[in-house]
Chain A
């Protein structure tokens, strides 16, 4: 059974047709690479799944239930988390504070409810350990490496017990050494039965972690293949249009 099923999704912004009838499925515990050139419709598709805006037509089916998200919080309530390209972290707060932002652990009785820092540091430490990331809960995000920031953003999705994590270019802005760490984080999500949609321009990263790759071109899905049945050359051809479809 598919975790997420997209049925002939279209999206128009005025006269521009960003998506023309896209069908796709995401299975539980599957990593799907979503590739395509700029303007191919990857971001639009992901934003529809994440609830940023509704599709013009078509259906989003999550665990056999048709869903209509109007804001990201709706999608999150259903177990869909998005890790934004800019990570949406507050530089001036600690890793643990970022992790728990908007859902802080508190103790005491109103109006004397205070932050339970001990519990938050402990839980954050456990999550980072689970992700095998050398991220310290008390460190300010300002002082962290790109890989550690990714770990904070990804740990956030663990906190909410997400079923599907959408990742927008997680390896675009970090050093080569840290790319390995981030890919390891993505594999660990899969081990825990979480599905991941990985939007990336970086062919080696997609081929390193994905089970399947979906290629978009000019608002349409042009390929949907298991990673073992394709090659970087074929995918490049599909992205540029040298190969029309596969």
Chain B
């Protein structure tokens, strides 16, 4: 450094501090959700030309409603993944919750007892996950894998392995909550949009949200600076289970029946949504919008394949391709940054 720079050191520091590290456009094009959004619209535009029945109000209504269920769960999953954890039990918790709510409705209790009871049942399973992970210290992968098996089993036991379709006197209310619409948009989509805004806000503007990123970035550092790491880890698993329960209750109304097989394999689609949207499975990165758009992309691909008359079994191959591609692109960008 030349000597004259040293004399004005404090001034130059202030100048440096004032500089934004990158422009808005640079940040936008460096973000994974941006490119996923571009890919999403490219597929929609392509499909609209290719298949006239694609770009109809009816189809868009279906697409948005279908991915809303996954997207809602992806919000809770994202909180878990940001801390560096994973929740494999969300699909099974869905199955358990739908049966709990269904059984209570069948016993002719009102909707305002049955649906909160379902949410509470989900939260309880999440609390078991969270307690074992945060306070006993077992790995999240193992604990939630155990819950994946156990919660499904509870659902099967509680339901007596049958489908529940008799929702009692409040059937119409339950069907309306999950299957209804407002201003031409399905209720679950409204729920997802509102949750995305709330989660996006929490992740970016609250100390609780930022501390999740700190835990994922360097758990030991977070602990040393006084962040209540254990309590927060417990909380994210409860949150994830609550989102699965909420999604389950909406599906209950939409399908008009409770089956214990609900949500089988959903955990993979939920995790895929967050990863495609830029979340890092090692923790410390991810956005609510990314999880939203990741869930949307998976559904648009699935729906597109169906509309194009491709065997629906190809869906998994495409989703798998996108997961690996998304992580690979993230890796490439990470390298160019370093």
User: Which of the 9-residue segments A9-17, A62-70, A134-142, A210-218 touches chain B?
Assistant: A134-142
CB-based contact B21/A138 at 8 Å: yes
Partner of B17, one of A91, A114, A125, A156: A125
18 contacts between A and B (CB under 8 A): A72-B224, A73-B226, A76-B226, A88-B224, A88-B225, A90-B218, A91-B218, A93-B217, A97-B214, A101-B214, A103-B226, A125-B17, A128-B13, A132-B13, A134-B13, A136-B19, A139-B21, A143-B337
CB-based contact B214/A132 at 8 Å: no
CA distance A216 to B331 in the complex (A): 46
- Is A24 located at the chain interface by the 8 A CB criterion? no
- Is A104 located at the chain interface by the 8 A CB criterion? yes
Please indicate the chain B residues that have their CB under 8 angstroms from the CB of A90 in the complex: 213-214, 217-218, 221-222, 284
Q: A125-B17, A129-B14, A136-B19 are in contact. Are A115 and B206 (CB under 8 A)?
A: yes
Q: Interface readout for A113-135 with B: 1 if CB under 8 Å, 0 if not?
A: 11100000000010011001110
Please indicate the chain A residues that have their CB under 8 angstroms from the CB of B213 in the complex: 90, 92-93
CA distance A113 to B284 in the complex (A): 22
CA distance A76 to B224 in the complex (A): 10
CA distance A72 to B13 in the complex (A): 33
Please indicate the chain A residues that have their CB under 8 angstroms from the CB of B10 in the complex: 129, 132
CA distance A89 to B220 in the complex (A): 9
Q: Which residue of A lies closest to B1 (CB)?
A: A177
- Is A102 located at the chain interface by the 8 A CB criterion? yes
Q: Interface readout for A75-104 with B: 1 if CB under 8 Å, 0 if not?
A: 010000000100111111100011001111
Count of interface residues, chain A, beta-carbon cutoff 8 Å: 34
CB-based contact A138/B20 at 8 Å: yes
Please indicate the chain B residues that have their CB under 8 angstroms from the CB of A101 in the complex: 210-211, 214, 221-222, 225, 227
- Is A106 located at the chain interface by the 8 A CB criterion? yes
CA distance A98 to B217 in the complex (A): 11
- Is B9 located at the chain interface by the 8 A CB criterion? yes
Q: Which residue of B lies closest to A106 (CB)?
A: B207
Name the prevailing secondary structure of the B interface residues.
helix
- Is B285 located at the chain interface by the 8 A CB criterion? yes
Chain A residues at the B interface, C-beta cutoff of 8 Å? 72-73, 76, 84, 87-93, 97-98, 101-104, 106, 113-115, 125, 128-129, 132-134, 136-139, 142-143, 156
CA distance A145 to B331 in the complex (A): 21
CB-based contact A84/B13 at 8 Å: no
- Is B16 located at the chain interface by the 8 A CB criterion? yes
Chain B residues at the A interface, C-beta cutoff of 8 Å? 9-10, 12-14, 16-17, 19-21, 205-207, 210-211, 213-214, 216-218, 220-222, 224-227, 284-285, 337-338
CB-based contact B220/A88 at 8 Å: yes
CA distance A32 to B263 in the complex (A): 62
**Beyond A114-B206, A115-B210: 6 further Cβ-contacts under 8 Å?**
A76-B226, A88-B220, A98-B221, A132-B10, A142-B337, A142-B338
Partner of B218, one of A72, A88, A128, A138: A88
CA distance A97 to B21 in the complex (A): 15
CB-based contact A137/B210 at 8 Å: no
Q: A84-B224, A102-B225, A132-B10 are in contact. Are A93 and B210 (CB under 8 A)?
A: yes
Partner of B216, one of A88, A92, A125, A128: A92
CB-based contact B218/A136 at 8 Å: no
Q: Which residue of A lies closest to B11 (CB)?
A: A129
CA distance A91 to B280 in the complex (A): 14
Please indicate the chain A residues that have their CB under 8 angstroms from the CB of B207 in the complex: 104, 106, 113, 115
Partner of B205, one of A72, A114, A128, A138: A114
Q: Which residue of B lies closest to A84 (CB)?
A: B224
Partner of B214, one of A93, A115, A139: A93
Please indicate the chain B residues that have their CB under 8 angstroms from the CB of A93 in the complex: 210, 213-214, 217
Please indicate the chain B residues that have their CB under 8 angstroms from the CB of A132 in the complex: 9-10, 13
CB-based contact B206/A137 at 8 Å: no
CA distance A212 to B272 in the complex (A): 58
Q: Which residue of B lies closest to A177 (CB)?
A: B1
CA distance A93 to B14 in the complex (A): 21
Q: Which residue of A lies closest to B219 (CB)?
A: A90
Q: A90-B284, A128-B13 are in contact. Are A102 and B20 (CB under 8 A)?
A: no
The 9 A-B residue pairs with the shortest CB-CB distance, nearest first, are: A90-B217, A102-B225, A102-B226, A88-B221, A92-B217, A92-B284, A104-B207, A114-B205, A90-B218
Q: A90-B214, A114-B206 are in contact. Are A136 and B16 (CB under 8 A)?
A: yes
Please indicate the chain B residues that have their CB under 8 angstroms from the CB of A113 in the complex: 206-207
Distance from A128 Cβ to chain B, minimum over Cβ atoms (Å): 7
Distance from B153 Cβ to chain A, minimum over Cβ atoms (Å): 37
Q: A73-B226, A136-B21 are in contact. Are A89 and B337 (CB under 8 A)?
A: no
